[in-house]
Structure 1
Amino acid sequence: MPNLDPDPFFSEWTHRRPGQVRSLDRAAALLHGLGLDSARAPVLGVVGSKGKGSTATYAAAALSAAGLRTVLVTGPSFRSYRERVRVDGVSVSDGELRRLGEEVESARRELVPAEREGGYLAPSGLFLVAGLLHARAVGADVCVLEAGMGGHRDELQLLGPEVVALGMVFAEHLGVLGDTVTEIAREKTRVASAERTRALVTLPQTTEVAPVVEQALAEATGGRLAPEVVDPGTEGAEPPVELRPAGLSAASGVLGTAAAARMLEVLGRPPAEAGRLRSVLATVGLPARLSGHTVPGGAAEVVVDSAIDRVGVAAALSHARSLWGGVDHVLLCLPDHKDVSGAVAVLADLPVTAVRLPEAHLRFDHGLPAHWGRMEAEELSPAAVAALGARVLALGTVYFTGRVLEVLDAPTDRLFDAG
């Protein structure tokens, strides 16, 4: 990521010892030291297996459309760590993030050293803390905070979000968050707080997951709450189809908008005027979620999507074909822990170049079709992309799609126009 020393957010993660895990107790102590455990802006928290960034973005846009000053924290970033914290859809400046990093680091140094406590402060949690600090600095009315991969074991749980938006729960992170999809659903639902949470808004879950969500929410809130289901297929659901994100993210747009409406109720604020809401949602752009770009110089068009499994790859391919009528080439970057076999099944007969990333913790040993091309991520350039054809589909992990957006000089600092 350019133009910023990220050390305040990554120092403990970078120096963690083998077997050391993130420490929520340490994060709680940091929040207390900064006064964020008792005095903070109201929080809409977003959890789920997929689509959290899209949900959070639409929720923030809907809240900004209602006139609330909204701080949005998402992750991971694409071109700059500044993207992790935004006000009304716009990234903070380098100077603002540097100031936030200094404030976080100053408070961190007041804690017992990590090597003595046994756990570390996770980067995603520290960006969340930075977002809360910035919300306080700018007098924000509300925060929309995207969880990391977890829920009950995520720093978001320490805050007890007033409203929780729960996306679809899949068998993502099996063996990390749980050994079954129901265990994962329970983990994510338990981000809710007995003291503060007023509502959990969810997409329709599978018959296996839905009762687990209901039970876990009842346990977490002392029986106060039941899930509030928003069905994108219901007539009149906002936003209308033409204003929803493309592809699989469409349901996330509906969930985010509904969660924002519920948050306004909790805050006692009037809903956004319908025309105003739709005009703001019409400006939403989601980088690397079926986002369209032109190679600098206009030599080729590129659709970029962070698809990591068979379903996502198939949906992205269908979108590109409907947009262009065909695809000249696919750039694909999936480490071995993603659904490489599923992607191969969908793309096997197409011209594909498989890209390898340099990150040491990622493995790229899965067998690929012999006729596919090979490329190192460092070889990506506008000329290299344009040489693949006039219509290029770039798919894969966010480490890769961020690099593609950088190569394309794609705008990522503004997610929506709050007017």
Structure 2
Amino acid sequence: MPSTDVFFREWRDRRAGARRSLARAAELLRELDLTSSPGPETLGVVGSKGKGTTATHASAHLAAAGLRVVTVTGPSFRGHRERVRVNGVAASDTEISSLAGEIDTAIRGIPDTGDGYLAPSGLFLIAGLLRARQLDADACVLEAGMGGRGDELRLVGPRVVAMASVFAEHVGVLGDTVTEIAEEKAGVAGPTTRAFVRLPQSPEVSGAVDRTVREVTGGRTRPETVHPPRPDASEVGVPHGLSAAPAHLGGEAAGRLLRELGRPPAEPDRLATVLSSVRLPARLSHHRVPGTDTEVIVDSAINGTGVAAAVAHARRHWAAIDHVLLCLPDHKDVDGAATALGSLPVTAVRLPESHLGFSHDVPAHWSHLDVESLSPEAMAALGGRVLVLGTVYFTGRVLELVDADTERLFTA
């Protein structure tokens, strides 16, 4: 049975300066007959941070209302099959291999025009659409890669778009300012988009998003701002901390899609049961290092605000933080993280991925470690209370080391 290598093959072998090809992705969709007949309605998720939380809670709301929902997110936690889920449950090895084989065959049937590569995030999105067709799913919740007019999500024509917080991520790639980045991300909407909901943004960003959405939808859709609950408010199934806002956004976006489908919302008791089952790995998730007494809190914080929130959370649960493992490539907010961590003992972890740099200056009292040297024993040697922070490429590895349960995100 074919491996999942097909999802990464063209990206891995891409030429210097090559860009993802939306034209070839569109051709692949046609080859797979994913454009000739109406498929399930889709809810697209874009933003700089909080997309996974938004997608998970949107999926949980839809599933609680009785829908069969295929969700595509990325990157994965412990394995690539987690990027395609049905009602919160990861695809099996057999299922993801079968999807990979179908995509591999289709790629061989389309011309290689040499104008770019098929991106992994786009291929997993296509795998999700194939899975939805197999199951005759009611809806798809699709998390964009970087997002923008060049993202494969735009080809799908999402009926509803949810925009989480946008900040200076992918500067120089999607735009040179936060406003330009937000404008580009909003471009995943299109003529079929009937609702666009977003978390509060700056006035400049909101204005740019409004203009873009009106333009790409022909004036039919006007973005709505979703205000998250107050920090002291209690909302069923909404997590505390920085995940509260995207979780609330996901619920609101799901409500818009249900209205578009003519489906009633979930019964309150049913919704409360499903939302109370939601588990978000690497979003302030608590674990024990196997075979030891060491506890870890894992959070995919990538800027000073997120790191400060994670430190505050850890201090509410522990008498002291013995050590911090931090993995932030150069393009993340390393300076902000350093300020938030202050004098805490920190080990900066480096990843081997060639596209990630780790040359940013860090405080002199920090130590350094290559991720290949990290093991359960090495974590336990750092103390009884270890805070693990950084890019999801790193936090996913830690979840593997502590044997975290990432199979099911919620029970519907």
**TM score, norm. by length of structure 1:** 0.95
Partner Cα separation in structure 2 for residue 203 and residue 4 of structure 1: 41
Task: Look up the match of 1:209.
Answer: 205
Q: How does 1:287-366 map to 2 (within 5 A)?
A: 287-366=281-360
* Greater Cα offset, 15-24 or 365-374: 365-374
SS of the aligned residue for 2:71 comes to strand
Contact 2:2–2:101 (CA<8 Å) still a contact in 1? no
Aligned-residue Cα RMSD (Å) equals: 1.7
Aligned counterparts, 1:108-147, within 5 A: 108-113=107-112, 116-147=113-144
Question: Retained in 1: the 8 A contact 2:189–2:213?
Answer: yes
Q: Distance in 2 between matches of 1:5 and 1:362?
A: 25
Tell whether the 8 Å contact from 2:2 to 2:100 is kept in structure 1 after alignment: no
Q: Does 2:45 correspond to 1:46?
A: yes
Q: What is the aligned-residue identity percentage?
A: 62
Post-superposition CA distance 1:185-230 (Å, at most 9, x none) = 1111121111x11111111221111111111111111111111222
Q: What does residue 402 of structure 1 align with?
A: 396
Rounded Cα–Cα distance in structure 1 between residues aligned with 2:255 and 2:17: 42
> Counterparts of 1:246-285 in structure 2 under 5 Å?
246-285=240-279
The residue matched to 1:126 in structure 2 has which SS? helix
Deviations along 1:352-389, one digit per CA (max 9) or x if unpaired, are: 11111122222222222222222221111111111111
- Equivalent in the alignment of 2:28: 30
- The amino acid of 2:164's aligned partner reads G
Once residues 212 and 232 of structure 2 are traced to their aligned partners in structure 1, the CA distance between those partners, rounded to angstroms, is: 30
Structure 2: runs of 5 or more not aligned: none
Alignment of 1:111-190 (within 5 A): 111-113=110-112, 116-190=113-187
d(CA) in 1 for partners of 2:353 and 2:230?
A: 43
Tell me the SS of whatever aligns to 1:208: helix
3-state SS of 1:67 partner: coil
State the distance in 2 between where 1:226 and 1:24 align: 26
The change in CA–CA distance for 1:137 and 1:236 in structure 2 (over 3 A counts) is farther
C-alpha distance in structure 2 between counterparts of 1:165 and 1:262, whole Å: 10
CA deviations on 1:274-306 (whole Å, 9 max, x unpaired) are: 111111011111111111111112411100011
Distance apart, 1:6 and its partner CA:
2.5
Deviations for 1:148-180, whole angstroms, at most 9, x for unmatched residues? 112221000011101111112212111110111
Distance in 2 (alpha carbons) for counterparts of 1:32 and 1:12: 19
Count of aligned pairs between the two proteins: 411
Q: Deviations over 1:246-281 (max 9, x none)?
A: 321110000000100110000000111111111101
TM superposition shift of 1:341: 1.4
AA of the residue aligned to 2:253: A
| Cα separation, 1, equivalents of 2:393 and 2:57 | 23
SS at match of 2:128: helix
**Displacement after TM superposition at 1:4 (Å):** 8.6
Q: Secondary structure at the match of 1:225?
A: coil
Structure 1: stretches of 5+ with no match in the other structure = none
Q: Does 1:101 align with 2:100?
A: yes
- Per mean C-alpha deviation after superposition, the further-off stretch among 34-43 and 45-54 is 34-43
Partner of 1:219: 215
Measured in 2, the distance between the counterparts of 1:190 and 1:50 equals 17
Counterpart-to-counterpart distance in 2, 1:75 and 1:248: 19
In the alignment, which residue of structure 2 is the partner of 1:414? Answer: 408
